[in-house]
Amino acid sequence: MKIGILTSGGDCPGLNAVIRGSVLKGIAIHGQEFVGFRDGWRGVVEGDVIDIPRTMVRGIAKQGGTILGTSRTNPFENGGGPDVIKAHMERLGIDAIIAIGGEGTLAAAKRLTDAGLKIVGVPKTVDNDLDATDYTFGFDTAVQIATEAIDRLRTTGESHHRCMIAEVMGRHVGWIALHAGMAAGAHAILIPEQKASIEQITEWVKEAHDRGRAPLVVVAEGFVPDHMESPHSERGLDTFGRPRLGGIADQLAPEIEARTGIETRATILGHIQRGGVPTAYDRVLATRLGMAAIDSVVEGRWGTMVALKGTDISHVGFEEALGKLKTVPQHRYDEASVLFG
């Protein structure tokens, strides 16, 4: 059996560990062959592949990024579609596809599966926003990177008695902000799931400042203050029609400074959260998910995604994975908000 692997959407620490886990188990246990589609769905649409022998995955679990490359290509546009992809798979002798990606990737995989292609999914997103899995690989690494960066912002903020705002990724959920903010001891954590007024934010900032602290605010890129209707987005839409978020910290900083008189600086961490080597947790989780994806292929579980439930790996349908976002529940935010101000 020949299996094609693709990594699509935003890159993520742990992608290479998934590839390694799938290839090693597939070869050692089932005698399978593997090819990789270059640059995500682009490689699938164009039939652009490379062979993945066992030697190619040697030692790659610790590497960030993806050895296959990635893109945000929509497989239904630019000459793509089920018929084109099926023709490439037949020409190349590829029997099935393992699609490693987030919401956009898995939504495309579901449409293609519905059209008759043999595809299984592996959830990938630093945002941790897929409801059908307890955690996604890449999230732990992103939180660790964000926490370290925020720790550094705190020291310079304290030196200058400034208020520091750190903007983290997460799209429409606040998991990275919540975890990194709690870990770094933020005086306010602002997430998409919770509205907050400028007045409330400045109150938290002043409370910390009045105690002699340099106020530290962590904000998720998708946070919507109560005077705004939608998340701040200046960069248009991606190929799947979703807004590219980012920049809310730059909007908040002058407001806070004007209202409090405290010098305020904003730092947008951006893609630094996706880079570098994955944490040990993410390497293990990604490897386990990659190995489980081989089980899905062998068992013919087309249209399903491997998922983490507690400490066990399970298999869920794409429709369950895409049904809704996994948002931060109220009790988790209430738990963190005790520490604000």
Contact 98, 120 (CB under 8 A): yes
Give the number of C-alpha atoms closer than 13 A to the C-alpha of residue 220, restricted to the C-beta side.
31
Is 33 among the annotated ligand-binding positions?
no
C-alpha dist (Å) from residue 197 to 52, 106, 238, 256: 52, 35, 29, 11
How far apart, in whole angstroms, are the C-alpha atoms of residue 243 and residue 220?
A: 15
133 is in an annotated binding site: no
Is 20 marked within a binding site?
no
Binding site annotation covers 160? no
127 is catalytic: yes
Among residues 127, 129, 140, 282, the one annotated as catalytic is 127
Q: Is 181 annotated as a binding residue?
A: no
Q: Is 301 labelled as part of a ligand binding site?
A: no
255 annotated ligand-binding residue = no
Cβ atoms of 99 and 106 closer than 8 Å: yes
Does the annotation place 282 within a ligand binding site? Answer: no
Whole-angstrom Cα distance, residue 191 to residue 240? 23
Q: What are φ and ψ of residue 189, in 5° steps?
A: -125, 120
Q: d(Cα 248, Cα 31) in Å, to the nearest integer?
A: 50
Check whether 305 is labelled as a binding-site residue. no
Measured over all CA atoms, what is the biggest interatomic distance in the chain, rounded to whole angstroms? 69
Q: Tell me the three state secondary structure of residue 185.
A: coil
Q: State yes or no: 154 annotated in a binding site.
A: no
Q: Which two tokens stand for residue 290?
A: 């990659």
| 15 vs 32: CA distance, rounded Å | 20
- Tell whether residue 331 is among the known ligand binding residues: no
User: Residue 270 gets which letter from DSSP?
Assistant: G
23 labeled part of a ligand binding site: no
Residues that constitute the known binding site: 10, 72-73, 102-105, 125-127, 162, 169-171, 221, 265, 271-274
Q: Give the active site residues.
A: 127
Residues that constitute the known binding site for substrate: 125-127, 162, 169-171, 221, 265, 271-274
Residues that constitute the known binding site for Mg(2+): 103
Residues that constitute the known binding site for ATP: 10, 72-73, 102-105
